[in-house]
Amino acid sequence: MLQTRRDLTQQEYTKHIDFLHQQLVSSWAADQRVTSLKIAIQNAKTMTNTEVLQFYPSKFVLSTEILDTFGKLVYERILERSGRPSVDAPPSSDPQAFERNESAKEMCKNWFYKIASIRELIPRMYIEMALLACYRFLSLTEYDTALERLAKMCRGIGDPLIAAYCRAYICRKGMEVSPKLRKHLYIVFEDFCTSFSQLTPDRLQHILRECELSFSEYLALFVPALEWILQCLSHRSSDDTLNTILHWYERCNNSLVLDAVMTSFDPKYVSDNALRFADLIKKADGLGCPQHQLYMSFGLSLVLSYPDKAVLRRILRDHWKVIVQLENPDDFLRCADVYIEIPAKHFTAADVDHLLGDIVRRVGELPTSTVSTGAGSPGAIAAAAAAAAPIVSGAASPTAGAAAPISTLTLEQALPRLQSILDKILTHLRNFSDLFEMRHFLPMVDLFQTDLVIRNEVCKSILTRFAYPGSTSLFVSAVDRSEVLAEATQLLTDLPRVNTMMYFAKSLHDSVNIMTVDDERRQITELILAFVRRWLVSYIANVASFLIGLPGSPDQGPFFILRQFLEALESYPWNNTSDGKAWCFLSIMKALSHLRTNRSRFNYLGVIPNSVLYDSDDRYEAEVDSLLDIIAEQVTAHLADLKREDSSHAAARRATLSLHLSHILNDYFSCTEATGAMALLQSARANLRETSSHLPTSLHALFRSDPSVVS
Amino acid sequence: MSGKVLDIHLDHIDKTFQAGECVSGTILIDGRKRSSHNGITLTLKGTVLMKHSSRNTGAFEAFYNSVRPIDLIFHTLELAPAGKLPSTILELPFSIPLLPTAEEFPLYETYHGVFVSIQYNIRVDVKGRSFMSGDLSETIEFLLENPPRNISFKPTPVDILISSSAIDSVKKGANVIPKFKITGKINSTLCPITRPFSGELVVEEMGSKIRTIDLQLIRVETCGCADGFSRDATEIQNIQISEGDVLRNFPIPIYMIFPRLFTCPTVSSKNFKIEFEVLINVQLENNHVIAERFPIKLIRLDEKESF
């Protein structure tokens, strides 16, 4: 009835299985249980057939689907007979219910007796596994003995691939009926390793030739089964589990198994045992899974959960040495893409720069493609897509590791990977100016010249990181805002850097053409504006402090120019997604407060300052206070806007602004004891208390240690 | 009552009753379909049926190849004298103690074999009054089990050792038999019928590829008396425990459930015998077969079942 033949295409086969599935359901509905069982057995028999090896994993999925349906039908029928709403419901004590229950039990026994007489081992096991849930009708303790026995019975399956999938099905069914049971999982994995250790290209020679498979392609067929087994094992596992697993793994020392172990277990387990894994990677046989794949999987675990920093540094140093030597540039870049995150996250800019140097050198050595490139050119896009493909396929794909043609990687194809590396650096960047501390940063950006599409993307990322320091990263979600101004000022003082940033902004600006869609245009505009405005903030702060020092006019008051400047600031169309305006006002407020408390005099040589001109004139102090009023009002309004926004990002911004505001007010208040400022100070403190959890850690400490703020 | 005019329902869902206890149930007669009868009788009968195989006997004996059956239990009950039936469903409950009729034979357990069968039936006859309402008859088989023996069970393990060194040198010289060594253990050759047959098998050495390893459950039925007897071994079931060329030194579980009806506790009486064997059957890719026989004894021990 059911034969898998070479002449059947995969689609035809799938159709055939679907047909069987329908037949099973319809014959069950027509009360033809024996026919249903026969179909289920026929279907389970296909699991014995390895004629088209490549198709085996898919076949497993299709066939077990039918088996699952069959198991469900039998289960529901027995449940119906028992008259209970669910098998866990206690059987009612009245005699009729008891009888029904006994009758359900008898029915269940009949099924198992029937199955036990199936001649062939593999169909017998699969059908029993499909009906595993029905053991519940007989006794509560039946599952563990059955699972353990089934796990051991797999040893009778000579073909290692069939055995591996049979084991995976046991694990799957075990998880379904009783996820707490683990003993069978250990047997399954131990046996898997034992049988895997005996796989050698020599032993499999004729199978491989027959199916036209390479040895590693053949091993890759085991991956889905292996991953399933490991996933069941790692479910709520303990340290002991991992120890046991590694102990058995050492029986086969196979790279493919090791990779599956690293990807299946919680990264924390991997990082807790980082040195052991590093050692195992060195010892792995490299069969079925290339070495660089192991480094990648390991690196990913370390990125997600990092060990002790000293250990991490040692591993990074050792592994990077190996990674740099990887012959295939694509393998190298894939590893680099993972490992760059380690120094970016945990170490200094110099460490990142060290890796970057090797990356830039390797990428620089790549040949450029002959296809002409340029923005929107189909060649560039095709190349980008080709290079991006391996990222999508990932490690789970059974053919991964066998792909990636060596040495054909061109510079253009490497760029998406390079871009991903840059993005990771930007994400974890603590201080924007660190970027310019890296000697290899600009040479890296230079590499993007050949592909305008990617270059624009890169410029966008850099400007975004500059404009919205908090928004690009999860880890530095509340970037120290107090450093923002400092950063901008620092940039201002370094003309080449400003020039570089300008260059990024300009090239982004120039990329806009008639083909640019509105959304893109808007995004670019916002980024460039944000950059210009950031610049503006520190510029405005400078101008304002200059204006404060100017002597006033006898007719129009001491701060007549500053007043006009403030009006101009107010009427300026500020972007309401940024706090630029508030920061400008805060810096002016700070200067005024210092002026008011006589702590700084803003004196210019040869110019008589206001403090002398209006010495002990009440009008002067009143004017300063009124200016402070205007500013405080603006800042408070902005804080209220942020509060309405009600996002954690807004809360972080509100927290930083409030902290600064209360510092300034505190200063001011301690010297002047002006009662008007008191209410404002209290409101700032309330704001701060509400949002203090969003403060960056450095500021948080400050907040804690400052008694005036807490009071 | 499934549309039948006459039906028999047994009180036990699994139709199994223990010797020494009562077999009980209800007879159902649909009075709406039949108004009167000429007497209702119930017959309980337990018999050992035997036949000689033609292979073991000559042509003349084969003509008489069924040996006289042995009645183990026989009861007839008159349930009702001739009369009318009410126009509803008539329910007649019954309960008959299961005690041996013949002194020399106990009640053997139900067994369906090839040359020996042990069956217990309940038959109900409703005699008809006229030509138009003829006789009605219904027979139902129930299963008889002996009560579990309350003894402490001591397994009798047996080591498995099948090796080429045990084969005589003539064949070895022909160089057809590859070198091999199969070891393992059968947990017990004394087998409680309700528990699985179990053990493990290790292929330590095998010079050729293995195609399959099977467990064959065999019944050995002997019947006859002083006149001569026949003894036949036939297969009950064949259970594969290993498929393909298994790993060496990797213990494979031996596991088999004894099927119901086709097995019973080993019987050895003066007229017939029912015995069982397990054959471990190793088939090689070159069609060679290596087999080893293990006689086993089935007993009814306790109520713990395989399932």
Domain ranges of chain A: 8-140, 143-252, 533-710
Note the pLDDT of residue A472: 38
Query: What is the overall mean pLDDT for chain A?
Result: 80
Q: Considering only CB atoms, which chain A residues are within 8 Å of B13?
A: 99, 102-103, 106
Residues in chain A with CB shorter than 8 Å from the CB of B259 are 113, 116-117
- C-alpha span between A77 and A68 (Å, rounded): 14
Residue with the bigger pLDDT between B65 and A226: it is A226
In this structure, which CATH number among 3.40.190.10, 3.30.565.10, 3.90.960.10, 2.60.40.640 belongs to the domain B158-299? 2.60.40.640
- The answer to whether residue A381 scores a pLDDT higher than 50 is no
Mutate which: B195, B243, B250, B280, vs A, most A CBs within 10 A: B243
pLDDT at A578 over 80: no
Give contacts of A124 with chain B, Cβ < 8 Å.
239-240
The answer, for B5 touching chain A at a CB cutoff of 8 Å, is no
pLDDT for the residue A365? 85
Residue the block writes with tokens 């030194």: B249
Whether the pLDDT of residue A376 is over 50: the answer is no
CB under 8 Å to A580, separation ≥6 — which residues? Answer: A533, A534, A536, A537, A574
pLDDT at B176: 67
Residue B4 to chain A, least CA–CA distance (Å)? 20
- pLDDT value of residue A680: 72
Q: What are phi and psi of A241, to 5 degrees?
A: -55, -50
Domain B6-145 is found in CATH 2.60.40.640: yes
Calculate what percentage of chain A has a pLDDT beyond 90.
24
Residue with more model confidence, B128 or A194: A194
pLDDT tops 90 at residue A116: yes
User: Regarding predicted confidence, which is higher, B2 or B125?
Assistant: B125
How far A403 CA lies from chain B's nearest CA (Å)?
Answer: 32
A350 CB neighbour count, 10 Å cutoff: 12
B285–chain A Cβ distance below 8 A for any pair: no
What integer best gives the mean pLDDT of chain B? 86
* CB-CB contact of A228 with A188 (8 Å): no
Inter-chain residue contact B237 with A156, CB threshold 8 Å: no
Pair A247, A278: CB distance under 8 Å: no
Taking a contact as any Cβ pair under 8 Å apart, which residues of chain B between 157 and 216 contact chain A? 210, 213
Average of per-residue pLDDT across A53-82: 91
Does residue B240 sit at the A interface (CB-CB below 8 Å)?
A: yes
A203 touches chain B (CB under 8 A): no
pLDDT at A96 over 70: yes
Task: Specify whether the CB–CB gap between B149 and B68 falls below 8 A.
Answer: no
Classify strands B210-225 and B272-284 as parallel, antiparallel or unpaired.
antiparallel
Tens digits of per-residue pLDDT, A322-364?
898 888 888 899 999 999 999 988 888 899 999 999 999 988 8
A648-654 average pLDDT score? 76
User: 3-state SS of chain B?
Assistant: CCCCCEEEEECCCCCEEECCCEEEEEEEEECCCCCEECCEEEEEEEEEEEECCCCCCCHHHHHCCEEEEEEEEEEEEEEECCEECCCCEEEEEEEEECCCCCCCCCCCCCEECCCEEEEEEEEEEECCCCCCCCCEEEEEEEEEECCCCCCCCCCCCEEEEEEHHHCCHHHHHCCCCCCEEEEEEECCCEEECCCCEEEEEEEEEECCCEEEEEEEEEEEEEEEECCEEEEEEEEEEEEEEEECCCCCCCCEEEEECCCCCCCCCCEECCCEEEEEEEEEEEEECCCCEEEEEEEEEEECCCCCCCC
Query: Measured between CB atoms, does A151 come within 8 Å of chain B?
Result: no
- Does position A635 have pLDDT exceeding 90, yes or no? no
Q: Which of B143, B247, B305 to mutate to test the interface with A (most CBs of A within 10 A)?
A: B247
User: CA of A145 to nearest chain B CA: how many angstroms apart?
Assistant: 11
Is-contact B247 A198, C-beta < 8 A? yes
CB of B256 within 8 Å of a chain A CB? The answer is yes
Q: How far apart are the first and last CA of chain B?
A: 30
- Stretch A84-112: mean pLDDT: 78
Contact A156 B245 (CB under 8 A): no
- The mean pLDDT value for A106-132 works out to 94
Candidates A112, A158, A191; nearest CB to B245: A158
Q: Which residue has the higher pLDDT, B68 or A167?
A: A167
Q: B304 falls in which pLDDT band (50, 70, 90)?
A: low
Name which residue leads in pLDDT, A573 or A271. A271
Cβ atoms of B213 and B280 closer than 8 Å: yes
pLDDT tens-digit map of A180-203: 888 999 999 999 999 888 888 777
Task: Check A117 against B239: CB less than 8 A apart.
Answer: yes
Residue A477 banded pLDDT, cuts 50, 70, 90: very low
Where does the pLDDT of residue A389 fall: very low under 50, low under 70, confident under 90, or very high at 90 and above?
Answer: very low
Give the long-range contacts of residues A318-321, CB within 8 A, separation 24 or more: A318/A278, A319/A278, A319/A295, A320/A355, A320/A358
> Is any Cβ of chain B less than 8 angstroms from the Cβ of A48?
yes
Confidence of residue B261 (pLDDT cuts 50, 70, 90): very high
Note whether B253 contacts A157, CB cutoff 8 Å.
no
Q: Is the model more confident about A400 or about A178?
A: A178
**Single-letter residue type at A642:** L
Q: Is the pLDDT of residue A454 over 60?
A: yes
Question: Cβ(A363)–Cβ(A418) under 8 Å?
Answer: yes
Binding-face residues of B in 9-28 toward A, CB within 8 A:
13-14
* Mean pLDDT for the stretch of residues A523-531: 80
Q: Which of A81-95, B161-175, B192-206, B215-229 has the highest mean pLDDT?
A: B192-206
pLDDT of residue A452 exceeding 70: yes
Give whole-number Cα distances, B232 to A46, B54, B219, in Å.
Answer: 36, 11, 8
Contact residues, chain B, for A119 at CB < 8 Å? 237-240
Interface test with B, best of A113, A127, A197 (most B CBs within 10 A): A113
User: What confidence category does residue A149 fall into, taking pLDDT thresholds of 50, 70 and 90?
Assistant: very high
Q: Which of the residue ranges A568-582, A594-608, B174-188 would you say has the lowest mean pLDDT?
A: A594-608
DSSP string, A453-486: HHHHHHHHHHHHHHH-TTTS-STTTT--THHHHH
Q: Which residues of B touch A148 (CB under 8 A)?
A: none
List CB contacts of A221: < 8 A, sequence separation 6 or more: A53, A54, A56, A57, A161, A398
Q: Identify the residue whose tokens are 């995969």.
A: A10
Tell me the backbone φ, ψ of residue A319, rounded to 5 degrees: -70, -35
**pLDDT of the residue at A53:** 84
- Rounded Cα distance between B276 and A322, Å, is 66
Contact B291, B214 (CB under 8 A): no
Mean pLDDT for the stretch of residues A402-406: 44
- Percent of the residues in chain A that have a pLDDT greater than 70, as a whole number: 82
Question: Stretch B85-104: mean pLDDT, rounded?
Answer: 88
Can you give the pLDDT at residue A551?
Answer: 80
B244/A152 touch (CB, cutoff 8 Å), yes or no: no
> Residue B104: its pLDDT value, please?
84
Are A64 and A169 contacting, i.e. CB atoms less than 8 angstroms apart? yes
Q: State the Cα–Cα distance between residues A526 and A520, nearest whole angstrom.
A: 10
Burial class (CB in 10 A: 0-12, 13-18, 19+), A379: middle
Mean pLDDT lowest among A547-556, A604-613, A686-695, B219-228: A686-695
Do the beta carbons of residue B220 and residue B202 sit within 8 Å? no
User: Average pLDDT for residues A26-54, to the nearest whole number?
Assistant: 90
Tens-place pLDDT, residues A14-37:
888 889 999 999 999 998 999 999
pLDDT > 70? residue A602: no
Number of other residues whose CB lies within 10 A of the CB of residue A368: 10
Nearest residue to A54 via CA among A24, A87, A9, A91: A9
Average pLDDT over residues A576-596: 79
Residues 86-115 of A with CB under 8 A from B: 99, 102-103, 106, 108-109, 112-113
Nearest CA in chain B to A122: B243
> How far is the alpha carbon of A132 from chain B, nearest alpha carbon, in Å?
12
Query: How far away is chain B from the Cα of A8, in angstroms, using its nearest Cα?
Result: 25
B280/B260 Cα distance (integer angstroms)? 21
Query: Closest chain A residue to B247 measured between Cα atoms?
Result: A158
Tokens of B46: 């337990």
- Rounded to two decimals, the ipTM of the complex is 0.90
State what percent of residues in chain B have pLDDT above 70: 87
